[in-house]
């Protein structure tokens, strides 16, 4: 008797599987499950574009409709990865264009995308619907124009914090003259001015538009006209909010904003002037997401705004909110799930620091649903961390950046070991953690022992020895991404825990003490890791003891990549060869 | 790299020097990659370097995306200041002043002059010195006309007019 499920039944069952982690597990059961799963997967996620060959991915998933890729290491966001390192989208676009012309969605993060890529997308995928580029670079507004003009079914075009060669606002006029299917449009990262009439007409013929994020050059006086043409918006990113308006214009804008009955998310607000805050009052009670991180508003004006936002779930703000403002948030924003407080760059040597650890303590007390925090602060205490952990054991993401490197608890002068211990002990669901301040190896012992669900960890200027890395690699079972800068160790811990690295997506270490010899040994020991040495100032000779500037280690089934620039070396698997630069450039 | 500050005025800025304008500025703003050393960077004794990089000069620190740093008008906001007849330009951080009187006092100290009294109708009368600024749209405006906040966020550079230019402006007003 054939004990296997008929293919059709399996296929039907698998169609209910959404999460790729589940699908990955399912694929490992047996060959027929692998085959069935791969034929039904529609959304493909590749967390490291160099982990696998694009052609293989294209061939494996014939029903692929959506592709998400990530390229450069996360620390590229902070200029720690030199330009030209890699992360090129082209090989992926080319492979998909040839084999998967029914692809509808492409989402790329930290990748190099050229105009050629965009033109290829426009020309190859007839049902193309969604393009989301986050922190990407390498393309110009010409490429955007190609997408706008050719993709007739385009629904989402989002450029999030990309570095675009902005040749002018013309691209906006390339959308088809007929009614569009646009649902979301985000050009907030572009610099140049777009033509108002182009935008107004586009809005008038885009009845499905739910999310619109303007760039800074869209002035305040034209906002009212735009909103009247898109009253159905759910997400709005304004342009500049500082131009002078006369009382009549202010009143018209206030009215236009109050008519946005579906509005849930507000961002942009560049240079928001205090006198314009009342204009926003009508939308506040409905808002679930508010991004004030470009609004230069200070206290006490911020209170007027925040005290009206009782439904707020996500708040991004600058440190001008001060402890006082965060107290208001703790009182009024009981639905808050995510808080990010960014540094405004105000003089860090100031004596009266108005944003302290107290602010975060208040929010952790008052906002019971808070689960995700990014907090920049000049200094901190263990006591505060312990209180925060006690208040909020439900943290999933906790990123604290004490901006003074090696800063101890400023009251006790002790390292912040005990504080972070409390965090990892109590927050059992913690998935992402960034630590800072003065930390000894002990802190990392605690993390290794307690942070069993931790997937991503970021460390800077911490630890005493290799023990630190050893605790992490041997203790954190779920660890997938580890990034470390300026910590005083490397070799021993890496080599002892080499096997762990194959269970992770990647490890980044820069300005640590990793020697060239250790890189070679690691690479030989672990054939399925790419060990990349990134050295902008390589020494003339490389004895084994010489330290390397940066290493980036990641698991891959694609072998060493062929597109390395001259400052990247993938350590060769053959011990006699040592180092080879495998690209032909 | 502590700079002496008296009443929020950076004394270094008021020094007259014969060097090229902006040279010291460049050195201060230069970013330094953390040097590999056996000592922790910021705990290094002075044998290592005479001026270890401060937390503002370490590459990629604090870890804020450069996109956000570039967009952030609220950090240090240096504008060039020129004065007619002076041999070189100066730079001031507008964020260190809270209002017009503070700014004008600082300018007076920096260039060793006195400004006349400001009135909305008549501008700066009396001393033949007129402070003007270029705003975001590229227009040259009289300092003092718009509210301070609006001025400090839209001012791109300052020019202190004097002599015949200023007189012409004065009489035109």
Tens of pLDDT along A402-424?
999 999 999 999 999 999 999 99
Q: What are the CA-CA distances from residue A530 to residues A79, A349, A459, A536, A575 (Å)? A: 22, 43, 22, 19, 14
Contact A97, A125 (CB under 8 A): yes
Using only C-alpha atoms, chain A has a radius of gyration, in whole angstroms, of: 25
Whole-number pLDDT of residue B44: 36
Q: Considering only residues 41 to 100 of chain B, which have any Cβ-Cβ distance to chain A shorter than 8 Å?
A: 41-43, 55-56, 58-69, 71-76, 95
**Residue, of A385 and A345, whose pLDDT is higher:** A385
Interchain contact, B33 vs A401, CB within 8 Å: no
Q: What is the pTM of this model?
A: 0.81
- At A308-344, the pLDDT tens digits run 999 999 999 999 899 999 999 999 999 999 999 999 8
Closest to B75 (Cβ–Cβ): which among A75, A80, A345? A345
Structure tokens given for A495: 């080599």
Within 412-441 of A, beta carbons closer than 8 Å to B belong to: none
Contact A376 B62 (CB under 8 A): yes
Distance CA A328, CA A193 (A): 37
What is the token pair recorded at A147? 């997408």
Distance from CA of A297 to the nearest CA of B (A): 10
> Which contacts of B109-112 are long-range, i.e. CB under 8 A and separated by 24 or more positions?
B109/B9, B109/B14, B110/B13, B110/B14, B110/B81, B111/B81, B111/B83, B111/B86, B111/B160
By the 8 A CB rule, do A188 and A215 touch?
yes
Averaged over B17-30, what is the pLDDT? 42
How far, in Å, are A493, B9, B17, B103 from residue B20 at the CA level?
Answer: 50, 21, 8, 24
A35–B contact, CB cutoff 8 A: no
Q: Which residue has the higher pLDDT, A427 or B130?
A: A427
Contact A406 B43 (CB under 8 A): yes
| Helices A20-27 + A31-40 axis angle, to 10 | 150
- Whether B30 shows a pLDDT value over 70: the answer reads no
Q: Which residue has the tokens 């969605």?
A: A105
Q: How far is B126 from chain A, CA to nearest CA, in Å? A: 31
Report ipTM for this prediction: 0.86
DSSP sequence for B17-60: --SPTTHHHHHHH--BPPPP-SS-GGG--TTT-SSPPPTTTBTT
Query: Token pair 């085959």 is at which residue?
Result: A35
Grade residue B34 by pLDDT with cuts at 50, 70 and 90. Answer: very low
- B40 and A348 in contact by Cβ < 8 A? no
Following DSSP, what letter does each residue of A309-323 receive, concatenated?
-TT--EEEEEGGGHH
CA A55 to chain centre: 26
CA distances from A412 to A348, A442, A481 (A): 21, 17, 32
Partner A contacted by B5 (CB < 8 A): no
Q: Which of B42, B52, B62, B153 to mutate to test the interface with A (most CBs of A within 10 A)?
A: B62
Q: Where are the alpha helices (DSSP H) in A353-415?
A: 357-366, 382-391
Q: Which of A78, A378, A533 to mutate to test the interface with B (most CBs of B within 10 A)?
A: A78
Which of A111, A117, A119, A157 minimizes the C-alpha distance to A136? A111
| Nearest chain B alpha carbon to A134 | B67
CA angle, corner A214, sides to A210 and A217, nearest 5?
A: 165
Contact A52, A534 (CB under 8 A): no
Closest residue by Cα to residue B78 from B87, B90, B69: B90
Phi then psi for A148, rounded to 5 degrees?
A: -60, -40
CB nearest A318 (choices: B2, B58, B74): B74
SS (H, E, C) A202-220: HHHCCCCCCEEECCCCCCH
Task: Identify the bridge partners of residue A105 per DSSP, sorted by sequence position.
Answer: A66, A130
Ordered DSSP codes for A421-450: HHHHHH-TT--EEE--SS--HHHHHHHHHH
> CB–CB of A404 and B55 under 8 A?
yes
CA-based nearest residue to A252, from A221, A295, A281: A221
Average pLDDT of the segment spanning A437-443:
96
Query: B16, exposed or middle or buried, with CB in 10 Å at 0-12, 13-18, 19+?
Result: exposed
pLDDT in tens, A103-158: 999 999 999 999 999 999 999 999 999 999 999 999 999 999 999 999 999 999 99
Q: How confident is the model at residue A574 (pLDDT cuts 50, 70, 90)?
A: low
Higher-pLDDT residue of A580, A460: A460
């Amino acid at each position: 008797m054939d004990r296997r499920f008929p293919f059709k039944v399996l296929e039907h069952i698998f169609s209910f599987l959404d999460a790729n982690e589940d699908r990955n597990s399912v694929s490992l059961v047996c060959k027929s499950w692998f085959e069935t799963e791969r034929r039904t997967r529609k959304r493909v996620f590749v967390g490291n574009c160099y982990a696998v060959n694009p052609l293989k991915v294209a061939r494996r998933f014939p029903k692929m409709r959506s592709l998400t890729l990530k390229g450069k290491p996360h620390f590229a966001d902070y200029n720690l990865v030199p330009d030209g390192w890699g992360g090129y989208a082209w090989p992926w676009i080319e492979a998909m264009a040839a084999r998967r012309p029914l692809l509808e969605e492409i989402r790329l993060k930290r990748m190099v995308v050229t105009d050629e890529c965009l033109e290829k997308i426009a020309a190859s995928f007839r049902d193309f619907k969604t393009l989301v580029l986050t922190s990407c670079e390498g393309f110009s507004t010409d490429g955007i124009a190609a997408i706008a003009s050719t993709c007739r079914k385009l629904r989402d075009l989002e450029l999030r914090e990309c570095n675009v060669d902005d040749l002018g606002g013309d691209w906006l006029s390339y959308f088809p003259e007929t009614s569009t299917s646009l649902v979301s449009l985000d050009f907030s990262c572009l610099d140049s001015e777009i033509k108002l009439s182009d935008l107004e007409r586009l809005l008038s013929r885009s009845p499905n538009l739910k999310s619109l994020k303007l760039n800074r050059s869209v002035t305040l006086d034209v906002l009212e006209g735009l909103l009247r043409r898109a009253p159905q918006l759910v997400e709005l990113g304004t342009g500049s909010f500082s131009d002078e308006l006369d009382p009549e214009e202010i009143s018209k804008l206030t009215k236009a904003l109050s008519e946005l009955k579906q509005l849930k998310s507000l961002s942009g607000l560049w240079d928001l002037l205090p006198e314009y805050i009342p204009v926003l009052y009508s939308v506040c009670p409905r808002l679930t997401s508010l991004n004030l991180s470009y609004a230069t508003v200070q206290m006490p004006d911020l209170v007027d705004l925040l005290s009206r936002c009782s439904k707020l779930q996500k708040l991004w703000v600058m440190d001008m909110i001060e402890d006082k403002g965060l107290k208001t948030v703790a009182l009024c924003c009981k639905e808050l799930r995510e808080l990010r407080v960014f540094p405004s760059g105000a003089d860090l040597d100031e004596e009266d620091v108005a944003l302290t650890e107290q602010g975060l303590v208040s929010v952790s007390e008052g906002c019971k649903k808070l689960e995700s925090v990014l907090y920049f602060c000049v200094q901190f205490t263990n006591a505060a961390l312990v209180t925060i952990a006690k208040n909020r054991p439900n943290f999933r993401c906790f990123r604290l950046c004490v901006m003074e490197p090696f800063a101890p608890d400023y009251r006790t002068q002790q390292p912040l070991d005990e504080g972070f211990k409390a965090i990892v002990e109590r927050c059992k669901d913690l998935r992402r953690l960034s630590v800072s301040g003065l930390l000894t190896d002990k802190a990392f012992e605690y993390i290794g022992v307690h942070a069993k669900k931790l997937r991503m960890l970021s460390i800077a200027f911490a630890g005493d020895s290799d023990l630190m890395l050893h605790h992490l690699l041997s203790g954190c079972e779920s660890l997938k991404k580890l990034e470390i800068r300026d910590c005083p160790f490397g070799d021993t811990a890496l080599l002892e825990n080499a096997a762990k690295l194959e269970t992770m997506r990647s490890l980044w270490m820069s300005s640590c003490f990793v020697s060239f010899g250790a890189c070679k040994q690691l690479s030989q020991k672990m054939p399925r890791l790419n060990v990349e040495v990134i050295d902008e100032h390589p020494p003339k000779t490389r004895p084994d003891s010489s330290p390397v500037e940066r290493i980036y280690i990641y698991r891959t089934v694609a072998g060493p990549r062929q597109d390395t620039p001259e400052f990247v070396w993938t350590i060769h698997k053959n011990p006699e060869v040592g180092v080879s630069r495998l690209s032909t450039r | 790299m502590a700079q002496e500050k008296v009443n929020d005025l950076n004394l270094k800025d008021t020094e007259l020097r014969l060097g090229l304008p902006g040279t010291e500025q460049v050195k201060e703003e230069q970013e330094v990659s953390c040097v590999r050393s056996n000592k922790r960077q910021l705990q290094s004794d002075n044998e290592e370097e005479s001026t270890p990089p401060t937390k503002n000069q370490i590459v990629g620190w604090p870890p804020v995306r450069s996109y956000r740093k570039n967009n952030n008008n609220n950090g240090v906001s240096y504008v060039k200041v020129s004065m007619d007849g002076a041999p070189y330009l100066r730079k001031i951080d507008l964020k260190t002043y809270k209002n017009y009187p503070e700014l004008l006092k600082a300018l007076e100290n920096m260039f060793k002059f006195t400004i006349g009294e400001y009135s909305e109708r008549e501008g700066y009368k009396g001393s033949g010195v007129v402070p003007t600024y270029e705003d975001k749209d590229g227009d040259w405006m009289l300092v003092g006309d718009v509210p301070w906040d609006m001025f400090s966020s839209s001012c791109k550079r300052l020019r202190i007019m004097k002599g015949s230019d200023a007189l012409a402006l004065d009489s035109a007003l």
